[in-house]
Amino acid sequence: MKSMRSKEPLEDDRSKGGPPWIDPRIQQQVKWRDGDIVISVPLKSGTTWVMNIVYQLLTGGSSAFQDIYAEVPWIECLSYPGQPIQEVLDKVEAMPTDKRRAFKTHSAPPSIPFIEGSSGRNVKYIVVARNPEEALVSLRPFLEQHTDDWFDLWRVDRQFLCRPDFPSFYREVIDPNAYQEMFFGFLSAWWPLRHDRNVLLLHYSNMKRDRESAIGGIANFLGIHPTPDQCRRILEYTSFDWMKQHEELFEIRTVCKVPMLKTGAMVRRGQVGNSTADGMTDEIKDHLRNVGRTIVADERALQWLYEGGDLRS
């Protein structure tokens, strides 16, 4: 991937094709504990929703939090330019030992360390994939909703990430930087591990179709058995309506030096099967699918990425 240009070169630019606030080296140095939960989801594929689901399951259903990112840290994200990796690691290590930790990452193995279930370690991985057409059309307005203060802090020109329409965004931002790898490479890494006892691979469309069953499956995977009252609260607090009404809880407002996102950036429509309405064209669909075939060797895996469905076999 091409490195992202900035207004003025950062002294220590770790972007390597992505934004400079992302540094995957951090998660390689985390001291994992038994019971840790890793939420591994590509961009715009339901990450914040799954973070909230896990938080609600761990707490038995709670609205008493100020920022989901303070509860479920993003372990490859820096809060400010020049932040030492050790500072992030110290915060992770200082998390209470009397309750389970959960973390967000947009990485897949090997960028995120994978500890096999057969190793005797009990680190759980909740992995969610989404139709890449839907994720990409959602990514463009999300990037536009990053604040000027955030871009200025990192000395990144908005024009290098933002375009006025989806075709130009795909043509000038996604394709030249091979950002399709975020979705297809992600699946290629996790697909062979889908049957490991420590991995739960889910599809966003299946979760949207039956939220209650999806939450129940995550609860069983984590060994959590909520009471009926807790189930009621969990379902309420993980609904789109509740999250939209309380969107300030999901917008990374307290953990960075300046606000990363404008209001309303994180909780959008989350629709399934309607990418054309957001600018996806038949030409781009064909190009994207062909790129996918060069990365995902298993045609069944590629079909599942686009359509979801049963993963039992």
pLDDT computed for residue 18 by the predictor: 75
What integer best gives the mean pLDDT of the chain?
91
Domains of the chain, start order: 25-307 (3.40.50.300)
* Token pair in block for residue 292: 């996918």
pLDDT computed for residue 311 by the predictor: 81
Better pLDDT: 266 or 64 = 64
Segment 228-257 mean pLDDT: 95
Question: pLDDT above 90 covers what percent of the chain?
Answer: 83
Q: Is a pLDDT exceeding 50 seen at residue 3?
A: no
Helices in 7-120 by DSSP H: which ranges?
A: 25-28, 47-59, 68-71, 85-93
- Give the separation between CA 95 and CA 289, rounded to whole angstroms: 42
Q: Is a pLDDT exceeding 50 seen at residue 14?
A: no
pLDDT band at 10 (very low <50, low <70, confident <90, very high): very low
pLDDT computed for residue 15 by the predictor: 38
Q: Do residues 201 and 127 lie in contact, with contact meaning Cβ atoms separated by under 8 Å?
A: yes
Segment 182-209 mean pLDDT: 96
Segment 277-300 mean pLDDT: 95
- Give the separation between CA 183 and CA 288, rounded to whole angstroms: 11
Per-residue pLDDT of 137-172, as tens digits, reads: 999 999 999 999 999 999 999 988 999 999 999 999
* Token pair in block for residue 8: 């003025």
Segment 98-115 mean pLDDT: 96
